[in-house]
């Protein structure tokens, strides 16, 4: 088995396209863009043939792996080789990739839930009060970045906000000049049938049902565009999960952190 570092090429894109067709549930956009997207890509070769690829981040964590269907029986061997050669120490994978996920579980020393991923029932939902949610403009970007830093600790120095604004996929709700909430409505490029929703509510305005109301409005926006809404939240964010489920979503897959080494006590 051979693992060769590579950049994103036509070969990688072709393999990734096959993976996306075989997933049991859509892949979360933030996970795809921020975690998998920032990982190193490797081609997997066996007997001088490319049989798949994998993505590994700087912490030696496997963030994605795919084998061509006729080589799926080698998945457990591939995972074992990655671990034994210390190319990886852990994995963060979704249950929407069952063959790779099960192979990693087989070699796991510990497993921890990371992120809950949701799909919508695909039915228009009664939104109730419609807030005046506006598209974020270029002029809003500095204040939105401050908001993200203060509310969720996100230090956006890599153009994330600018990209969403350019794509017209970032919205905000203001009250007396104060940002009450921001909301992403990202139309996926890699999964053209889906759109990812995300909402951040100012801590000073939480507990008023704003997240649920905005989520419902965005759900209807996505359905009107002919796409399926998806979203996610970390396992410890009970408030977010409640708003998501009230808006017609169900949990379709979970991202787990899988460790292959015994934790030091």
Average pLDDT, the chain: 94
Domain membership flag for residue 168: yes
Phi, psi of 257 (to 5 degrees): -95, 120
Q: Are residues 86 and 195 in the same domain?
A: no
Query: Each residue of 167-196: pLDDT tens digit?
Result: 999 999 999 899 999 999 999 999 999 999
Provide the pLDDT for residue 265.
Answer: 46
Confidence of residue 259 (pLDDT cuts 50, 70, 90): very high
Under a CB-based contact definition with an 8 Å cutoff, are residues 220 and 127 in contact? yes
Domain endpoint, select from 81, 114, 147: 114
Same domain membership, residue 151 and residue 78: no
For residue 255, being part of any structural domain is answered with no
Q: What are φ and ψ of residue 188, in 5° steps?
A: -65, 135
CATH number of the domain to which 57 belongs: 3.40.630.80
Q: Do 105 and 173 lie in a common domain?
A: no
Q: Are residues 36 and 109 in the same domain?
A: yes
Average pLDDT over residues 110-134: 88
Q: Are residues 128 and 91 in the same domain?
A: no
pLDDT digits (tens, 9 = 90+) for 6-22: 998 999 999 999 999 99
pLDDT for res 132 = 85
Task: Read off the CATH number of the domain in which 230 is found.
Answer: 3.40.630.30
Cβ neighbours around 264 below 10 Å, total: 4
Domain boundary, last residue among 65, 95, 114 = 114
In the predicted structure, residue 166 carries a pLDDT above the cut 50: yes
Q: In this structure, are 107 and 129 located in the same domain?
A: no
Clarify whether residues 110 and 129 are in a common domain.
Answer: no
CA 92/CA 240 separation, integer angstroms = 21
Q: Do residue 105 and residue 184 come from a single domain?
A: no
Least confident of 66-75, 129-138, 163-172, 194-203: 129-138
Regarding whether 143 and 71 lie in a shared domain, the answer is no
* Lowest-pLDDT range of 100-109, 125-134, 143-152, 156-165: 125-134
Strand order, beta sheet including 170-175 = 2-6, 40-46, 49-56, 61-67, 90-94, 249-259, 110-120, 228-234, 194-201, 178-187, 170-175, 134-135
In a domain, 260, yes or no: no
Average pLDDT over residues 108-120: 97
Q: Residue 30 is part of which domain span?
A: 2-114
CA distances from 218 to 53, 130, 196, 249 (A): 35, 11, 10, 13
What is the distance between the alpha carbons of residues 194 and 228, in angstroms, rounded to a whole number?
5
For the chain, what is the domain count?
2
pLDDT above 70 as % of the chain: 98
Contact 110, 238 (CB under 8 A): no
What is d(CA 121, CA 232) in angstroms, rounded to the nearest whole number? 15
């Amino acid at each position: 088995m051979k693992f060769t570092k590579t950049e994103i090429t036509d070969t990688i894109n072709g393999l990734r396209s096959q993976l996306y067709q075989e997933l049991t549930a859509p892949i979360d956009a933030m996970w795809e863009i921020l975690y998998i997207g920032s990982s190193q890509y490797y081609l997997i070769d066996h007997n001088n043939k490319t049989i798949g690829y994998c993505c590994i981040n700087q912490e030696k964590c496997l963030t994605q792996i795919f084998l061509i269907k006729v080589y799926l029986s080698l998945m457990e061997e591939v995972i074992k080789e990655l671990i034994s050669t210390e190319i990886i120490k852990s994995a963060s994978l979704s249950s929407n990739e069952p063959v790779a996920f099960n192979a990693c579980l087989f070699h796991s020393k510990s497993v921890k839930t990371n992120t809950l991923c949701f799909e919508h029932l695909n039915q228009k939902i009664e939104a109730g009060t419609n807030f005046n949610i506006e598209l974020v403009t270029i002029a809003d970007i500095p204040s939105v970045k401050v908001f993200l830093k203060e509310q969720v600790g996100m230090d956006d120095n890599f153009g994330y906000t600018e990209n969403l604004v350019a794509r017209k996929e970032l919205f905000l709700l203001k009250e007396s000049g104060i940002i009450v909430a921001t909301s992403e409505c990202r139309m996926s490029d890699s999964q053209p049938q889906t759109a990812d929703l995300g909402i951040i509510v100012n801590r000073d305005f939480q507990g008023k049902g704003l997240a649920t109301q905005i989520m419902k409005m965005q759900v209807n926006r996505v359905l009107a565009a002919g796409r399926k809404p998806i979203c996610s939240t970390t396992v410890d964010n009970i408030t977010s999960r409640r708003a998501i489920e009230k808006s017609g979503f169900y949990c379709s897959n979970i991202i787990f952190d899988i460790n292959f080494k015994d934790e030091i006590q």
